[in-house]
Amino acid sequence: MRRQQLESATIQIIGQDGLSAATAESIARAAGVSKGLLWRYYDDLEDLLLSAGRRALATLEAAVASDADMDADVTELFRSAIHRAATLPATHPAELQAIRHIAIGLRPHVPETTLRANEYRELHARQAALIARGQADGHLRPGLDPHLLAVTYQGMVDSMLDYLHSDPTLDPRTVADHVADVLLAGISTPH
């Protein structure tokens, strides 16, 4: 419970003011605790930031999967997930900003523990399992590497989110339709 409180405060600070604003003092103040309490739960500030990034990523993944029918045809599942992801800039802006800042800001300092190196590996494994299921069901092209497709899929979603962030006037549904059409045209079995 305390870790969640500290990590949520960190996400909110980074989401509003950027990585440089996430100091031990500002996080403790936002969480309503003493600065010394932080070090009962985390080794240092980088440990807290990475934990907050992991929490933000888990929150986003749960938001995308929240209304997903995991038994649906994999092509429809991916289309639905892309559409749900396109709503994240409006529904979860702090988490998106936190991940963006933490993944980029900490990379030079802690390359072996970046979000992309660890948590994305687990996300890709779950996505690859869905892709393999789609291949076994005959909905996705069988000769393609599921892991590489998972990385490609997530890269497309991340790029879509960056594009939507860069231009808030874009219609998320239109952008999601385009991304889904391009992805699925390349990986679906021809009918």
Residue with the two structure tokens 């948590």 = 119
* Predicted pLDDT of residue 112: 52
Helices and strands counted in the chain (H then E)? 10, 0
pLDDT in tens, 41-56: 999 998 999 999 999 9
pLDDT at 107: 57
Domain assignment of residue 36, yes or no: no
Which pLDDT does position 145 carry in this prediction?
Answer: 97
Asked if the structure places residue 43 within a domain, the reply is no
Give the per-residue pLDDT at 68.
86
What is the residue-averaged pLDDT of the chain? 91
Looking at residue 78, its amino acid is F
Is 179 inside a domain boundary?
yes
Region 146-159 average pLDDT = 94
pLDDT tens-digit profile of 118-151? 677 888 999 999 999 999 999 999 999 999 999 9
Give the model confidence (pLDDT) of 4-17 as tens digits. 999 999 999 999 99
CA–CA dist 87, 49 (Å, integer)? 25
pTM: 0.86
Each residue's pLDDT tens digit, 96-123: 999 888 877 765 555 555 555 667 788 8
> Distance of CA 77 to CAs 74, 130, 141, Å?
5, 9, 16
Within a domain: residue 8? no
Q: How confident is the model at residue 67 (pLDDT cuts 50, 70, 90)?
A: confident
Our count of domains for the chain comes to: 1
Is residue 34 assigned to a domain? no
CATH of the domain at 128: 1.10.357.10
Whether residue 11 is contained in a domain is answered as no
Q: What is the pLDDT of residue 181?
A: 97
Q: Provide the domain limits for residue 81.
A: 53-187
DSSP string, 52-77: HHHHHHHHHHHHHHTT--TTS-HHHH
Q: For residue 64, is it within any domain?
A: yes
Query: Is 188 strand, coil or helix?
Result: strand
Q: How far is the C-alpha of 119 from the C-alpha of 144, rounded, in Å?
A: 23
Instruction: Tell me if 142 is assigned to some domain.
Output: yes
Q: How far apart are CA 50 and CA 119, in angstroms?
A: 10
